[in-house]
């Protein structure tokens, strides 16, 4: 196990005040919080920052950490000295942080699970609800179907160490589900204690990115590229949709940005979504002599100045 220099994580010196700890944390949180960050790998980084803050903002933990910390350097192999925490009494709760469950091995060794989980006083209590995100393909939302998912969950083994336990779960994907919705699996969350019921498992649905189709609720968006003459004269093109290929009528004088709505061809449901086809006209480059000639003929046929403001 490596020693973690919590001061270094927050970019602080070892004698930082409580106010400095708070300021440094808030600044880094805004930069790296996975919900607001533009940085890649922000989630891993944020966990470290959060953990450092959990220790340094808490006077009890900070004192304990400081007593031990001064001889160690970031990344050094670390085993805590025996009875290092003798004489410190941890209250075992910290405000507003009951959900802080992703602590490192280093944190667990120093402060243990006891500091990390609210003790339940009730003998027969309901298990915790669990959450996970599941990626499915768009086509599964159209058709429904079964899928086996693998979930990793930190659990305590008999020695009290945290291990990642993987479990496989076969779930049915209901037809018509869309990204952002939740599937609730009754009784698949954490086990209850005593006669308490197990908690539920909430699966938040997201779609695997698709090269052609983007979703917004039950509506699906796709792009269709047209040659200038197809757009100007109108045509029929064959295009793929999530439900298979269809023939699509392109009205004459279509322009880039026009949207064709195929009603009810989005994700099915009691109110099915629509499929929107966004048209983009692509200009072919003039390379050969005959291609150049074709553009010259166009310039003669059209008295067209795109910079003229239309009344």
Judged by the rule CB under 8 A, the positions of this chain that interact with other proteins are 26, 29-30, 33, 35-36, 46, 50, 96-100, 126, 128-129, 131, 146, 169-172, 174, 177, 180-186, 188, 199-204, 214, 216, 221, 223, 225, 256, 278, 280, 282-283
Of the pair 41, 172, the CB lying nearest other proteins is at 172
Query: What region does 307 belong to: left with phi over 0, alpha with psi -120 to 50, or beta?
Result: alpha
Of the pair 35, 238, the CB lying nearest other proteins is at 35
Q: State in Å, rounded, how far the first CA of the chain is from the last one.
A: 73
Of the pair 92, 174, the CB lying nearest other proteins is at 174
Of the pair 7, 46, the CB lying nearest other proteins is at 46
Nearest to 54 by CA among 30, 20, 87, 21: 21
Smallest gap from residue 75 Cβ to other proteins (A): 25
Distance of CA 98 to the CA centre of its chain: 21
Smallest gap from residue 244 Cβ to other proteins (A): 22
- E runs forming strands in 174-294: 182-185, 201-207, 213-216, 219-226, 235-241, 244-250, 259-262, 275-281
Smallest gap from residue 71 Cβ to other proteins (A): 31
Of the pair 122, 159, the CB lying nearest other proteins is at 122
Of the pair 96, 244, the CB lying nearest other proteins is at 96
Smallest gap from residue 218 Cβ to other proteins (A): 11
Smallest gap from residue 202 Cβ to other proteins (A): 6
CB 127 within 8 A of CB 198: yes
| Angle formed by the axes of helices 18-32 and 42-56, nearest 10° | 160
CB atoms within 10 A of CB 76: 12
Smallest gap from residue 96 Cβ to other proteins (A): 5
């Amino acid at each position: 196990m490596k020693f973690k220099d919590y001061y270094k994580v927050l970019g602080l010196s070892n004698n930082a005040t409580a106010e400095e700890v708070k300021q440094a944390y808030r600044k880094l949180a805004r930069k790296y919080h996975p919900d607001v960050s533009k940085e890649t790998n922000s989630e891993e980084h944020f966990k470290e920052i959060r953990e450092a803050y959990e220790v340094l903002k808490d006077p009890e933990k900070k004192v304990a950490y400081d007593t031990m910390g001064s001889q160690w350097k970031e990344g050094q192999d670390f085993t805590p000295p025996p009875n290092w925490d003798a004489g410190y009494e941890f209250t075992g709760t910290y405000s507003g942080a009951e959900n802080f469950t992703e602590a490192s091995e280093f944190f667990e060794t120093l402060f243990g699970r006891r500091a990390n989980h609210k003790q339940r006083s009730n003998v027969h209590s309901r298990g915790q609800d669990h959450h996970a995100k599941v990626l499915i393909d768009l086509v599964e939302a159209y058709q429904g179907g079964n899928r086996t998912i693998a979930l990793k969950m930190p659990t305590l083994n008999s020695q009290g160490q945290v291990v990642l336990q993987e479990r496989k779960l076969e779930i049915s994907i209901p037809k018509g589900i869309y990204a952002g919705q939740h599937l609730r699996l009754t009784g698949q969350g954490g086990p209850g204690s005593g006669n308490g019921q197990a908690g539920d498992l909430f699966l938040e649905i997201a779609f695997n990115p698709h090269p052609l189709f983007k979703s917004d609720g039950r509506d699906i968006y796709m792009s269709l590229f047209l040659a200038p003459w197809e757009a100007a004269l109108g045509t029929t093109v064959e295009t793929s949709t999530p439900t298979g290929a269809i023939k699509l009528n392109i009205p004459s004088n279509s322009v880039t940005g026009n949207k064709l709505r195929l009603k009810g061809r989005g994700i099915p449901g009691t109110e099915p979504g629509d499929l929107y086809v966004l048209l983009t006209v692509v200009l072919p480059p003039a390379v050969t002599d005959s291609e150049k000639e074709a553009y010259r003929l166009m310039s003669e046929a059209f008295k067209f100045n795109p910079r003229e403001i239309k009344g």
